[in-house]
Chain A
Amino acid sequence: QKEVEQDPGPLSVPEGAIVSLNCTYSNSAFQYFMWYRQYSRKGPELLMYTYSSGNKEDGRFTAQVDKSSKYISLFIRDSQPSDSATYLCAMSARGGNKLTFGTGTQLKVEL
């Protein structure tokens, strides 16, 4: 079993839809949770950074962490074609240290 599980997709939604992306994990030591966006042939770009459980909102993006269920989510409101990318969840036991990534979910937002 992988430490971090993420549905690879692809996920296709119409423009304006609410997108829900999720990851589950098995290591209870993880305390820091991140979502990265990666466009094709580019490096990952940090979208959201959360410590421990709770919600965090930034513009159209909301990150949720449920440590009791070992489940994290990223919601994208009013999705745009420019949101089409691969979304990677990542987590670590200590801030800034070794990250364990999910496989990434490929998202396509269609006009």
Chain B
Amino acid sequence: GAVVSQHPSWVICKSGTSVKIECRSLDFQATTMFWYRQFPKQSLMLMATSNEGSKATYEQGVEKDKFLINHASLTLSTLTVTSAHPEDSSFYICSARGTSGVGYNEQFFGPGTRLTVL
């Protein structure tokens, strides 16, 4: 149990385009999902926290208009990187926290999405 998937696993895009990344909790309902970014040989940095049906809370220094987060259901959150630039190239990882039972009070991570912006 407590499986989180991400799609796509990797994406290459041109500078100026937008990219959408999906995060799904497959076998539990997630009231809260988190989006992290990880640069090579560095730790995970929390970008934003999203609760189902409400606006995401962004960490200091993260542009909310550039990184659009939607958490429309208890099993799906999306991160859209708008007008991507090469400096946005990174490994994006989501995690999900359950409502009760499996996943409650713990964060389970997806496999990550590697974004390369040319």
> Which residue of the partner chain, among B4, B43, B107, contacts A104 with CB atoms under 8 Å?
B43
A43 touches B109 (CB 8 A): yes
Q: Knowing A49-B106, A96-B105 touch, does A42 contact B49 (C-beta < 8 A)?
A: no
> Which residue of the partner chain, among B41, B91, B95, B105, contacts A95 with CB atoms under 8 Å?
B105
Interface mask (B103-117 → A, CB under 8 Å = 1, otherwise 0): 011111111101000
Task: Give A44 to B34 CA distance when docked, in angstroms.
Answer: 13
- B residues within 8 Å of A by Cβ? 4, 6, 32, 34, 41-46, 49, 91, 93, 95, 97, 104-112, 114
Point out the residues of chain A lying under 8 angstroms from B106, CB to CB: 34, 46, 49, 95-96
A46 touches B49 (CB 8 A): no
Point out the residues of chain B lying under 8 angstroms from A96, CB to CB: 32, 97, 104-107
Point out the residues of chain A lying under 8 angstroms from B110, CB to CB: 43
Give the size of the chain A interface in residues (CB under 8 angstroms). 21
A41 touches B43 (CB 8 A): no
Closest Cβ of chain B to A103, distance in Å, is: 5
Q: A43-B4, A46-B106 are in contact. List 15 more A-B contacts (CB 8 A).
A: A32-B105, A41-B91, A41-B114, A42-B111, A43-B110, A44-B93, A45-B109, A46-B107, A49-B106, A88-B44, A95-B105, A95-B106, A96-B104, A96-B105, A99-B46
Point out the residues of chain B lying under 8 angstroms from A98, CB to CB: 34, 46, 49
- Does A36 lie at the interface of the complex (its beta carbon under 8 Å from any beta carbon of B)? yes
Closest Cβ of chain B to A72, distance in Å, is: 15
Point out the residues of chain B lying under 8 angstroms from A32, CB to CB: 105
Q: What are 22 inter-chain pairs, A to B, with CB distance below 8 A?
A: A32-B105, A34-B106, A41-B114, A42-B111, A42-B112, A43-B6, A43-B111, A44-B44, A46-B107, A46-B108, A49-B106, A88-B44, A95-B105, A95-B106, A96-B105, A96-B106, A98-B46, A98-B49, A99-B95, A99-B107, A102-B43, A104-B43
B109 touches A44 (CB 8 A): yes
Point out the residues of chain B lying under 8 angstroms from A95, CB to CB: 105-106
- Does A101 lie at the interface of the complex (its beta carbon under 8 Å from any beta carbon of B)? yes
